[in-house]
Amino acid sequence: MNTEEALRDFLFNGHLFYVPHVSLDCAIFGYHERQLKLLLIKPKVVENWCLPGGYIKRTETLVEAANRNVKERTGIDNLFLQQFKTFGDPDRSKASQFDEEKWFKAVGVRIDRTNWLIDQTISVGFYAITDFSRTSPKADVFTVNCAWFDIDNLPKLDFDHDEMVREALHTMRVQLYHYPIGYNLLPEKFTLAEIHALYETLLGKKLDASNFPKKLIALGLLERLNEKRSIGPHRAPHLYRFNKERYDEALGEGLVLS
């Protein structure tokens, strides 16, 4: 949507190509070396930072729409986005706060209160985790900025996005033991110290270093390899890897813990 013509078509005819009343928002967590961050955008038409999101084309699945929106808003592609909850409290839509002049100033096109974008919207929440050091967030035509924020130092978010982040974080933490979430955040072969740091950071709490991996190993989700990595004189910890097949199997059984 980089020409004014495309923008006008979206604003005035968008309800024909997109499903009206339904949006989606994406909580994208970023991990790197004991740091957990969240990707936020600052749209031109709202006051505060918020989660990247957008609308669903009438020909797309929800997850396809989530990926397209994230790519358009932030420049980041190929995330494994996972649905976590849909948000529909009646007061989450603030049609009453629509400011015609502000819209005009922001995007250069005038819309009024009857526009399809202004009516009540229910939003589907997705989350993803990626290595933030390998991304280069970029703002698009609707946004003035796009950046990573420390999870412990987030600004006040717009709409109901504070609640979305809390719920996304909760779901990610529960699912950490059911899905191989660490998969793309660690090298293929990693040390116990590396997965320990990852889990502590994602869970936001200390884990007993010797007890923590036992359950994962007992369940066959984590495999000890006959390989070591030399990290210094007399220091060569064993390497481990995720057993993806066992994860899929465990998921198929409906649970990992049993």
Residue 213 DSSP one-character state: H
Query: Strand, helix or coil at 191?
Result: coil
Residue choice 1, 141, 203, 217 for contact with a copy of itself (CB under 8 A): 203
Residue 103, beta-bridge partner list: none
Residue choice 61, 78, 133, 145 for contact with a copy of itself (CB under 8 A): 61
Distance (Å, rounded) from C-alpha 24 to C-alpha 19?
A: 11
Residue choice 85, 102, 189, 246 for contact with a copy of itself (CB under 8 A): 85
**Judged by CB, which is closer to a copy of itself: 85, or 102?**
85
Q: Which residues of 129-156 are buried (b: 16+ CB within 10 A; e: fewer)?
A: bbebeebebebbebbeebebeebeeeee
Distance (Å, rounded) from C-alpha 181 to C-alpha 172?
A: 8
Residue choice 14, 88, 180, 220 for contact with a copy of itself (CB under 8 A): 88
List the x/- string, 210-249, binding to a copy of itself by CB under 8 A. -----x----------------------------------
Binding site for a copy of itself (CB under 8 A): 19-22, 56, 58-62, 65, 83, 85-90, 120, 122, 124, 169-170, 173-174, 176-178, 203-205, 207, 215, 253-258
